[in-house]
Structure 1
């Protein structure tokens, strides 16, 4: 679609409330989509240590989506907690989140809609050197397991598993500990402050590549999170355009090539582009 089809005149009030706005550069030929990202969640969203450039599956996919829309992305970096506050969207600093945010019912009820684009299995893991102590998930009963503070889905999954397996069998429940992000969870594990942790399988695979295969997946996946590109619920036009562009990338094979590039398994494939198809 040509950039001219996206030209909008937006008042200051509209921009402040983040009603869908595409910012046209001087000259009127190039359209800019402002997108938020985090920089510490490989292989989805991170900074390349050698180049200090943004990288990852999310980054490449969002750039490809924007290109299909006849637009260019202007990236802005935030913490995950800032994304969940919706402040970047509500203040008009960005138009959408071009990074992995779990599509959850409570977030949709809070005004955040999602163009769902990838799955990631979430798993228990521990240090490989502790395989004898914690190599079976039942051995985590009564122990502390780190989850990410800003993603309550992780803590919910751990509690559900603990209730169904530990408590039901007369064992002590797992104690949920909170780290600020995936890197912090790894640090808590290395320091011996927790017996295990929960993380996405893709992110854990990257950590193992960096840390000489230090981490061991324990048991079967707890869940398969659906990640979406978030936008304010009022911005239905933006959501539809993002979804349509993603569907085109899926149909033409670009999406599959990006999964392969970032070593994401077939189980991560979203199937088709949808809005708000996450946990109900």
Structure 2
């Protein structure tokens, strides 16, 4: 009986492994890549006011992956805290959703090669007199619920009280209204919000980063063939210069950010 039970377990495990390994084939057979994204984080993924479609850097990257597979792209918006559960439950095939690498997340999912590197900083009121991270000890700091920014504040400024919100606008408004002392997020998000509010609510950004994180596309563990294909597509974008052109579209000199590409698409080594 024990031998029969052991054989049954082995067969079940083998079947599960085959199912996991079939995701690439399943996507191609379906003809659609379902990409989970936030849809509220400009310029990564947000609703175009004219077309009402979700556009942005994350969307362009996911579309390139779909093109590489020869399938259509389907975008599925979701909340920050729902990203990994939606992926693990099979409701999306891949995540392009401001997904910073962390040891904890890397135990749950696999990451593609990095396609963005984020400086996580804190925005404060310009007249608050806060210029260093040390001055935020014991203060209230807002962040997106379930984000690496939230985790970073808890790790780097453990005495601060972290107040979480569902979207960047609400987290920023808490600073503008004096309900919190700072807002931790990607520097890009902070730069855009500071520019938008410079007339009504002058803001400053603390120079030192709370932490620096590489972002990758999220993939379920065990999907080796799918991950290899995604990494191959990203590497080709980098080599051809297409990755740089996509970056310039959303972050370059003609945008509110005026940034230059200063990172390579490469394996995230932790």
TM-score by length of 2: 0.80
- Structure 1 position 113, deviation (Å): 0.7
Note if 1:22 corresponds to 2:10: no
- Contact 1:117 1:228 (8 Å CA) reproduced: yes
User: Judging changes above 3 Å, is the alpha-carbon distance between structure 1 residues 190 and 32 closer, same or farther for their aligned structure 2 residues?
Assistant: same
Q: Which residue is 2:174 aligned to?
A: 188
Q: What does residue range 97-136 of structure 1 map to in structure 2 within 5 Å?
A: 97-110=95-108, 112-115=109-112, 116-128=114-126, 130-131=127-128, 133-136=129-132
Structure 2 gap segments, 5+ residues each = 1-15, 253-258
- Structure 1 position 140, deviation (Å): 2.4
Note if 1:207 corresponds to 2:178: no
Q: Which residue is 1:81 aligned to?
A: 81
CA distance in 2, matches of 1:91, 1:72: 21
CA distance in 2, matches of 1:143, 1:102: 24
- Contact 1:43 1:262 (8 Å CA) reproduced: yes
- Contact 2:143 2:149 (8 Å CA) reproduced: yes
- Contact 1:44 1:56 (8 Å CA) reproduced: yes
- Contact 1:33 1:71 (8 Å CA) reproduced: yes
CA distance in 2, matches of 1:134, 1:60: 37
- Structure 1 position 122, deviation (Å): 0.6
Q: Which residue is 1:64 aligned to?
A: 64
Note if 1:261 corresponds to 2:260: no
- Alpha carbon RMSD of aligned pairs, Å? 2.6
Structure 1 gap segments, 5+ residues each = 1-12, 26-30, 164-172
TM-score by length of 1: 0.77
Cα deviation code 1:236-264 (max 9, x no counterpart): 11111010001000000000111111116
Cα deviation code 1:127-147 (max 9, x no counterpart): 23x24x324444323321112
Superposition misfits of 4+ residues, deviation over 6 angstroms: 13-18
- Contact 2:68 2:233 (8 Å CA) reproduced: yes
- Contact 1:244 1:273 (8 Å CA) reproduced: no
Q: Which residue is 1:225 aligned to?
A: 213
Cα deviation code 1:157-180 (max 9, x no counterpart): 3344436xxxxxxxxx33322223
